[in-house]
């Protein structure tokens, strides 16, 4: 059905996705294309900047940190909403299989997956 996924509910890829590929609906499910876009915005517009600010030795502007924390919080809310859908949850789980497990971004997104699972068990 797809080049890299047998079923949209799979938690792993059939074969690794090369970096830099422009993925299409022939490659992966629509839900994965969508959640990849949200995660990319989450990282580029919020997490990446906050991570740099927090790890730098320069005097950090508190308002700048708060701004990036708010951006991340909004994207976290969006991701948690999407993760209520099992296809989005499976897609994000697959995506994480290709991330560096020691990165702060991996830990943050993995945490969102755990939160969504806990919320799903409550309903």
Segment 28-68, tens digit of pLDDT? 999 999 999 999 999 998 888 776 666 665 556 777 778 87
In a domain, 79, yes or no: yes
Model confidence pLDDT, tens digit, residues 66-120: 887 888 899 999 999 999 999 999 999 999 999 999 999 999 999 999 999 998 8
For 16, counting Cβ atoms within 10 Å of its Cβ (0-12 exposed, 13-18 middle, 19+ buried), the class is exposed
CA distance 86 to 39: 17
The alpha carbon of 46 is separated from its chain's Cα centroid by a whole number of angstroms, namely: 12
Q: Is residue 7 part of a domain?
A: no
Confirm whether 60 is domain-assigned: yes
pLDDT of residue 123: 54
pLDDT band at 122 (very low <50, low <70, confident <90, very high): low
The answer to whether position 18 is within a domain reads: no
Q: How many domains does the chain have?
A: 1
Containing domain of residue 82, as a range? 30-122
Distances (CA, A) of 97 to 16, 21, 55: 9, 16, 25
Residue 10 counted as domain residue: no
How high is the pLDDT of residue 1? 85
Question: For residue 104, is it within any domain?
Answer: yes
Q: Is residue 24 part of a domain?
A: no
């Amino acid at each position: 059905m797809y080049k890299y996924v047998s079923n949209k509910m799979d938690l792993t890829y059939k074969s690794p996705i090369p970096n830099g590929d422009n993925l299409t609906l022939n490659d992966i499910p629509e839900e994965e294309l969508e959640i990849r876009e949200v995660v990319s915005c989450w990282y580029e517009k919020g997490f990446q900047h906050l991570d740099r600010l927090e790890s730098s030795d320069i005097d950090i502007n508190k308002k700048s940190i708060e701004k990036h924390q708010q951006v991340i919080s909004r994207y976290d809310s969006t991701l948690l909403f999407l993760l209520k859908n099992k296809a989005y949850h499976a897609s994000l789980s697959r995506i994480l299989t290709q991330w560096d497990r020691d990165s702060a971004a991996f830990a943050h997104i993995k945490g969102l997956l755990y939160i969504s699972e806990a919320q799903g068990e409550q309903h």
